[in-house]
Structure 1
Amino acid sequence: MEEQSKDISDFIGAFRRYRRKILSIFIVIFGVTAVAAVLWPPTYRSSATILIESQEVPQDLVRSTITSFATQRIQQTQARVMSRTHLMNIIDQYGLYEDELRTQTTEQVIEMMREDIALDVISADVVDPRSGRPSTAAIAFSIAYDGQVPTKVQRVVNELVSLYLSENLKTRSERTEETHLFLRKESGDLSKSIAEIEARLAQFKENNLHALPELVQLNQQLLERTETHIRDSRNKLERLDERRFYIQGQLQQVEPHMTMTPGAAAVILDPEIRLKALSADFLSLKAKYSDTHPDVVRLKKEIDALERETGVTVMDAEIEEQIAVVRVDLSRAKERYSAEHPDVARLEQKLAGLEEELVASRAAQDEASDTADNPNNPAYINLLTQLDQVKNDALHARANLDGFLAKQEEYESRLVKAPQVERGYSAIVRERESLLRRFQEVRGKVMEAGVAQQLEEESKGERFVLIDPPQLPEKPVKPNRGAIIFLGFILALGASLTFLMIAEGLDNAVRGAKGIESLFDIPPLATVPYLSTAEELADKQTLYTRLITVAAGGTVAAIAILHFIIIPLDVLWFRVLRKLSVVLGL
């Protein structure tokens, strides 16, 4: 037996057999979706548009200290506005999410409100005035809030707009003030650093006063001048030494003391020469006569006078020889005799007398030394005067030379230290110049920051301007009841057809001539039509009436839903007419 194939007539017959169930499924599903669309609580949306208005004063004249992009500032402001504190204040102020607060945590409710708030940035293609390149810039942004009560929705958007505007002004004021304070602090720190580097530079100059780079040429000139003075001083000393040697040679040839000999008035002898001659005569006379002889006494007095005059003693040696001889005799006598022996006493007395004579002679010599140093020869005195002058000039020249040598060493030390001092000096000067440049830059920025702060205080800078205030929503934005009803219709129709196909596929009953022919492979001889009874005809009539009533009621309900929920009929009519006029070109 071949499988029975089904065509459209079979499905039409099946629809007639299962029409009650199919209609029940369609009515249930479509009715549930229609009721859900009608009973779904409406959600209203109110929005406001804020324009990002550029600063009134051109940036070429006054540059703002806020350099971030508008999109970035909007996101930062959004993070401030969407904080937990602000959102909870709005929820408490307007009584939002009362049912949710009973069943959910505060964090969940706040997250729910954040999801209901929408921020949309409006961008435009612009040309950067500084680089001249095309770019995209944010020129405005819109704030929207979804809620179930239109008045609350409008008030919430108003509050959000106020928060955005105030937070933007607060943020910009705080940033300009912080920038101004930071630059002023930086300027103060640089000023202190400059004062410190100035003190270091002054101390460095004081410590290296004569070795600074700008004095190198002067030190070189002073060194050359000092070397010239040294050469001149040395030459002068050489000339003075030569002069001194010459005068000393002249002094050796001139006797300092001049006197007359008794026998020759025209002959002048030196006192020392005369003393030597008289000493020789005295020794020769003493060898002949006793000490009391008149000639011996006279020579002795004359010798004493010359000794006092010249300071030269010729008798000391003789007295010292006599003392030595007496000491030897005394030592021998003491070896032979006792201390009281007359010879011992005589020798001791003689030794004491000789020692007293030696002492007196030396005292007389010291007394006469002063007079012996005073020459009386005019030529000798003239030479001595010249010699003293030469010695004084030499001492003065030597002192000058020592001073010049000390200066030369000092100047050379300065020149040797100059490269090292120059490196240290240049390092301090470079650091000072760098600090001065930074100080000038920061001072300029401080002035710009002050002007920018005043610009923000007077609301002349970039600001947010409300150009489209939030309106009271007149119709909900969701749910889309027409779409839900249409979707319910499609879902009900699909479910009904699916039921029909499944029911017909599972039904193995044989119906009609086509079923008999497919079952027995023999066509039937005749077909007797189904004869309905009066009761069945009445039931059909009732069913048709019900269907017409349901269709009419559904049509009226659909028109009512379209008019009251989706779009008014008059508005729809005018839209249709406008579309037709556009299509037909009227």
Structure 2
Amino acid sequence: MNLDLSFYFAVFLRRIHYFILVFALVTAAAIAAAFLLPAVYTARSTLVIESPQIPGALLPPTVQAAAMEQLQIAEKDLMRRVNLLDIANKLNVFRDMNKMTPDQIVQAMSDATTINKSAGKGQAAFMTITFDGETGPKAAAVVNEYVTIVLTQDAERRKTGASETVATFQSDVKNLDGQLSDMSAKILKFQEENKDALPNTLTYRLGQQQILQDRLAQTERDIALLKDQKDRMIALFNATGQITGVAAAQTPEAKQLDQLRQQMNASLAVLSPSNPKIKQLQAQIDQLEKVVQAQQVPADVSGAVMSPIDVQIASMDAQMEALEEQRKQLIEQLDILKDSIDRTPANQIALDAMTRDLGNIQGQYNNAVAKLAAARSSEVVEAQAKGERLTVIEAASAPDSPTKPNRMMVAAAGVGGGAALGIALIVLLELLNRSVRRPKDLIKSFGITPLVTVPYIRTPNETMKRRSGFVVLLLLAVVGIPAVIYAVHVYVAPLDYIFAKVADKLGIRL
């Protein structure tokens, strides 16, 4: 494809007034905006989450959130509406704040604030707070207010967390202490109500049961023996009229008399009759002989003297009656022991359950006491600011020069944009122009070949009018547009405010 560069250049020259007009218009507007846009000063401060001075192995921290989570919480607390309004009103951050609504102030503070966070495994956690202000001191003051709020709220949050942790464990310890007391009282009451059937005395009661069973068996044998002796003695007496040959039951005094006589005989073998011990034994023997002799001839209820067989039968009956009474008491004692032994397994299960519950509560109580002690230590650490905390490693200082706008860049962009728009306008006009201007246009449109072409020749008057109108438009573009922009900036609203409103409507963040 062959381009007729001379033709396009001629077209450009013929329409250069459009180019100059658009170029001058955009360039003037850009230069005016570059010099009228207010300077923006940026101040920043950097904070870091400082490790605790006491190792976590010795004293676990009360705030267990991850570093990034802590920074996010700090940012949310900082950017609350009340904080932004207080700082803006305190420092008079924006011009004409009396004309701004609270929502506009909050939005402007939020737009001018930038918070960057960085945290990673094995890396320090940083937070950088940046604010764009109209002056350097004002921007630095806002950032320092931000830092003060972040540090204050972080310290309060940690202290509050430590205090709430202590209060929680204090409540747990109090509740568990009450449960321990209640369970101990319950166990004590149960033991008092079942003291005859407790597991710790089961072995003793089983031994007592065996002893009583042996005694009961012996008593029943003695009763049976006495009954047998009585029957044989009565049978012998009925048959022979005598009671000899049957071992007569002796009274306790008679048995004691026989023992004393035996002891007397043994003592005389080694001692003389005049020995005091021999005399004492003889006195006891004499006294018992009188008692035994009185027992051998008893009287019945009518006063008559009882026969020897009656004496023996009465003695045996008395002994059997005593043994029967002893047997009855042994049976009662065995029944009581059996009942207590039968109740022991159930008591064992109940006591084991209560003891297990008591042990569980005791373990929970000990754990809660240990945690309470650790929480109190953590509270002291937080109060002394020796735990994990946010600290400032770079305080905000007032910048000496503005960070934006870059006026030369804005002006250069305006010059480039004006040139591009001027060329684009000429190209657009050329694309929309369908008139015949070259010989080849005649050949293409009508299929004829011209012999000669004569261009349109303007009169001097037309040329003067054309140039005068161009000069007027150029002056309006170069002088009028900056003047209008300046008037809007001074008397209507600042350009940065207008740009911010437009960007907000378009959803663009400047």
TM-score by length of 2: 0.71
Report whether the alignment pairs 1:219 with 2:216.
no
* 1:371–1:388 distance in 2 versus 1, CA, 3 Å: closer
Report whether the alignment pairs 1:62 with 2:59.
yes
Give the letter for the 1:374 counterpart: G
* 1:13–1:100 distance in 2 versus 1, CA, 3 Å: same
* 1:498–1:531 distance in 2 versus 1, CA, 3 Å: closer
The alpha carbon displacement at 1:46 in A equals 1.1
Q: From 193, 213, 217, give the equivalent of 1:231.
A: 217
Give the letter for the 2:169 counterpart: L
Q: From 378, 399, 403, give the equivalent of 2:329.
A: 403
Q: Secondary structure at the match of 1:27?
A: helix
Please give the alpha-carbon distance, in whole angstroms, between the structure 2 residues aligned to 1:423 and 1:22: 106
Name 1:460's counterpart in structure 2.
386
Looking at CA atoms only, which structure, 1 or 2, has the larger radius of gyration? 1
* 1:509–1:74 distance in 2 versus 1, CA, 3 Å: closer
Please give the per-residue CA displacement for 1:433-454, whole angstroms capped at 9, x wherever unaligned. Answer: 1111111111111221122122
Report whether the alignment pairs 1:181 with 2:167.
yes
Q: Which runs of 5+ in 2 are unaligned?
A: 242-298, 469-510
The alpha carbon displacement at 1:537 in A equals 13
RMSD over aligned Cα atoms: 3.8
Q: From 86, 109, 116, give the equivalent of 2:105.
A: 109
Conserved? CA contact 2:68–2:118, under 8 Å: no
Conserved? CA contact 1:52–1:462, under 8 Å: yes
Q: Secondary structure at the match of 1:474?
A: coil
Please give the alpha-carbon distance, in whole angstroms, between the structure 2 residues aligned to 1:419 and 1:502: 108
Name 2:27's counterpart in structure 1.
30
Give the letter for the 1:421 counterpart: N
Name 2:118's counterpart in structure 1.
122
Please give the per-residue CA displacement for 1:361-401, whole angstroms capped at 9, x wherever unaligned. Answer: xxxxxxxxx99823335xx1x33333333223222212221
The alpha carbon displacement at 1:523 in A equals 6.4
Report whether the alignment pairs 1:491 with 2:421.
no
Please give the per-residue CA displacement for 1:294-344, whole angstroms capped at 9, x wherever unaligned. Answer: xxxxxxxxxxxxxxxxxxxxxxxxxxxxxxxxxxxxxxxxxxxxxxxxxxx
Name 1:394's counterpart in structure 2.
320
Which runs of structure 2 are paired with 1:291-370 in the superposition (5 Å)?
none
Give the letter for the 1:419 counterpart: P
Give the letter for the 2:329 counterpart: G
* 1:428–1:148 distance in 2 versus 1, CA, 3 Å: same
Please give the alpha-carbon distance, in whole angstroms, between the structure 2 residues aligned to 1:82 and 1:45: 18
Conserved? CA contact 2:62–2:158, under 8 Å: no
- Mean Cα displacement is larger for which, 518-527 or 80-89? 518-527
Q: From 395, 399, 403, give the equivalent of 1:469.
A: 395
- Mean Cα displacement is larger for which, 507-516 or 82-91? 507-516
The alpha carbon displacement at 1:138 in A equals 5.0
* 1:413–1:148 distance in 2 versus 1, CA, 3 Å: same
Please give the alpha-carbon distance, in whole angstroms, between the structure 2 residues aligned to 1:124 and 1:81: 22
TM-score by length of 1: 0.63
* 1:174–1:531 distance in 2 versus 1, CA, 3 Å: closer
Q: Secondary structure at the match of 1:210?
A: helix
Conserved? CA contact 1:251–1:384, under 8 Å: no
Q: Which has the higher contact order (CA 8 A, sep 6+)?
A: 2
Give the letter for the 2:99 counterpart: R
Please give the per-residue CA displacement for 1:227-283, whole angstroms capped at 9, x wherever unaligned. Answer: 11111111111122233444555787899xxxxxxxxxxxxxxxxxxxxxxxxxxxx
The alpha carbon displacement at 1:9 in A equals 2.1
Please give the alpha-carbon distance, in whole angstroms, between the structure 2 residues aligned to 1:195 and 1:520: 117
Please give the alpha-carbon distance, in whole angstroms, between the structure 2 residues aligned to 1:371 and 1:532: 184
The alpha carbon displacement at 1:468 in A equals 0.5
Give the count of matched residue pairs. Answer: 415
* 1:39–1:229 distance in 2 versus 1, CA, 3 Å: same
* 1:520–1:207 distance in 2 versus 1, CA, 3 Å: closer
* 1:38–1:252 distance in 2 versus 1, CA, 3 Å: farther
Please give the alpha-carbon distance, in whole angstroms, between the structure 2 residues aligned to 1:86 and 1:528: 77
The alignment-based identity, stated in percent, is 20
* 1:456–1:402 distance in 2 versus 1, CA, 3 Å: same
The alpha carbon displacement at 1:529 in A equals 10
